[in-house]
Structures are given as C-alpha cells and as structure tokens.
Structure 1
Amino acid sequence: MSYFTSTRHLVGVGLALLGLLAHFLGWLGDWWLPIVAGLYLLGVLVTPRTRVDAQLAQEADVGELSAELRRLQGTLRGQKVPPAIQAQTRHIAEQLQVLLPRLSKLEAQGDPNAFTVRQLVTDYLPGTFKNYLNIPSELRSRSDARLGKTPDALVSEQLDLLSSTLDKVSADSIRGDTTAMLANGGFLKDKFGKPDLEL
C-alpha cells in the first residue's frame, strides 16, 4: 500500500486521468487504452523520488520490489526500447529476483549489499532509463556529438555496470553462506567427530 501513496504513483494517476479526459473528448481514437497506460508509466518513471518516497522504498517488502521490476519491464516493452536492451534489463531483473528472497536475511545481518540490492530495484535501474525514455525512440540510435556514442550504447554500458555489480553481490552472498557452512562443519566435527574418552 505504501506505493499507492507515493508521489510517483500520484503523478502517474494524474497523467492517466488527463489521458482519459482526452479519450472522452474524442482525441485518442482506438489506441486510447495503451496511451492512458503509457501516460501512467511515464509519470512514474519521470517523477523524481521525494524523501518520503525514498523512505517508502526502504520499507517496501520483497513482493513490492518484485512488482516494481515487472512494471519497469512492461514500460520498456511499450516504449520501443531495442530488444537487446530489453534482454539486458531482463537479465538484471532475473539476477535481482534470485537475490530478493535473501534480502531480509542480508538486512538483518547488516550486510551493505542489502542496501545495494534495494537501491538497484527502486532507484539505480529505473533511474538509468529515466532520461533515456525522454529521448524520442527514433533518436536513441543516433550518435551524440558530446558523448561520442548513441543513447542506446550509453544505456547499454550502464546496464552492463549494474549487472556486474549484481554479479559481485551474488558472489559475496554465496561466499558468506559457504563460510557459514564451513564454520558449522567445523563445529559439528569438533562436537561429534571424536568420541569422548571413557575413564
């Protein structure tokens, strides 16, 4: 429920209502429904997260975070994003979906990777697409003189960086479990590996 009180959701609803008004005035034609849905998603993506929204993001549970990932992927499908970039995003979402069930444990342990995982879902990943989606789709494959590369190439590089970060988080998480298993194995060996000497 915290998401539905956030500024991003309210802005999205406001844009969607404007779309509905345009539909009732007869301006949108047969494509009114996807246009209204697209306006809502656009409002969610372009609205800066307020301090209150950031706090709500830190309180979101695993189900809400998973839903946020699905919403982002749905937005990209409706915004003419190249299949290769969608595939990169899908891979990152899959990496996150593996880590999300472990989030509560990581947070309880005070693991800094927990913050990284949460921020990737609520800020870093959607933030990567925020300005990119503001660029008309037909211009995203054109080279920018200031950057020396296309917006498509730039966002692809940023997604690679996020994916590499998640690889490290996953490796740290597995390493922590392995260390704990080894420690437990040592304890069991010390406790039960040798019979007590009989007097």
Structure 2
Amino acid sequence: MATNKVLGYLESRKNLTGSACGIVGLALTFTGMAGPYWPAVVAGLYGAGALLAPPERPPLPDFPDPSAQLDELRDDFGKLRAYLTDIELPPAAAGRLTELTDLLTALLDPGWVSQVLAQDPEGIHALSRAVRQDIPEAVDTFVRTRWWTRLAPGVEPPERHLERQLAVLHSEAQTLATSLHEVEARRQESHTRYLEDRS
C-alpha cells in the first residue's frame, strides 16, 4: 500500500512539475547564479513547482454504456418471461400481457431498433422500469388479490385492474416505439434534405 502511494506520487503532476522546477534550480547552480545557497534554491523551486501544479483529477466513474445496460435488461426480460409462463391469467389479461411482451421483445431484440434505443436514456429507463418493476408488480398483485377475493366475493374482480394496468404499460411502450420511429423518420428526412441541397 505504501509502495503504491510512493509510486503514485512519483508519477503525479506535483512531483513532475516540482522536478522540472528543481532542474531549473540545478541549471542556475551550474551557471553560478544560485551561489552557496544552491540547495535551498533547488528545494525552493521544487516546492514552488509542486504547489503550483494543477491538482490530480480523479478518474470518472466507470458506468456501463447503454448497450451493456440493454444487455442486462434483455437478461432481466428473459427472467420475467420465464416467471410469467408459470402464472395463470384470465384470457383477456393474458391477451393484453402477450401484446405487451411482444412489443417489449421487438424493442429489446438486438438490431437497429435497439441501436436507436441505446441513444435514448429515458427510453431505456422506461423499459427497465416496466420490466423490472411495473409488470412483475402488476402480475404479483393480481395473484395475491385474486386469492383474497375468494374470501370476500362480490368485490371488483382483480383481473380488471390487471387489464387496466397492462393497457397503460402497453400504451407507454407504444409511445416509446413511436418516438423511436420518429427519430428514424427525422433522420431519413434530414438525409433527403442533405442530398437535395448537395445537388
């Protein structure tokens, strides 16, 4: 640990700047300008250089890039789909869930769509929230609430809430898909303008 600190200081800006100034002090000594006080001149110039050197800049945190985030999200989506295969849902809710998972699959499949998505941090966040939180919570809440309705018949069926929740999530995913399409459409239009202006 101490060796690492010493090596770190030897490579630091403070030491390099101080050493450069110390060499100037040695040059003054050899030319006779420092006189008998040359050790103090060399040490003083080294210290001044070390004090004037810009501070070390800590390295930036190494956050995963968007494509790595999408890879993790695809893995989590695979886990979610495996979980959903074990859940028995009423036909209407199952249909809505299938529509939603099909749309999410299309958005997360590797290819040009996910390349566009990788440039949209808010879109990645929205998909991540849907996959890791909203869909599991909606389905799990339905499963737990369905059990309680057996004890209290006559209340609103929990599948209606599940259908509404899945409809909202599908709408959010569809909005994201539409915005990604608009990005590509704008890109195409701008390329058309570029070609026309070039002619």
Equivalent in 166, 190, 193 of residue 186 of structure 1:
193
Residues of 1 paired with 2:154 and 2:117: CA distance?
41
| TM-score normalised by structure 1 residue count | 0.55
Which residue identity does 2:143 align to in structure 1? L
RMSD, matched Cα? 2.7
Residues of 1 paired with 2:130 and 2:166: CA distance?
11
- Stretches of structure 1 that go unaligned for 5 or more consecutive residues are 1-57, 195-199
Find the residue that maps to 2:86 and give its secondary structure: helix
1:25-174 correspondence runs (5 A): 60-61=71-72, 63-76=74-87, 80-101=88-109, 102-107=113-118, 109-137=119-147, 139=149, 142-144=153-155, 149-174=156-181
User: Contact 1:68 / 1:122 at 8 angstroms: preserved in 2?
Assistant: no
Q: Structure 1 104/72 Cα, relative in aligned 2: closer, same or farther at 3 Å?
A: farther
Per-residue CA deviation, residues 27-75 of structure 1 (Å, 9 max, x unaligned), is: xxxxxxxxxxxxxxxxxxxxxxxxxxxxxxx675354144134213212
Equivalent in 160, 176, 190 of residue 183 of structure 2:
176
| TM-score normalised by structure 2 residue count | 0.55
Find the residue that maps to 1:187 and give its secondary structure: helix
Q: Report what 2:48 is aligned to.
A: none
Which residue identity does 1:67 align to in structure 2? G
Find the residue that maps to 1:94 and give its secondary structure: helix
- Stretches of structure 2 that go unaligned for 5 or more consecutive residues are 1-68
User: Contact 2:107 / 2:114 at 8 angstroms: preserved in 1?
Assistant: yes
Regions of 4+ moved over 6 Å: none
- Percent of pairs identical after alignment? 17
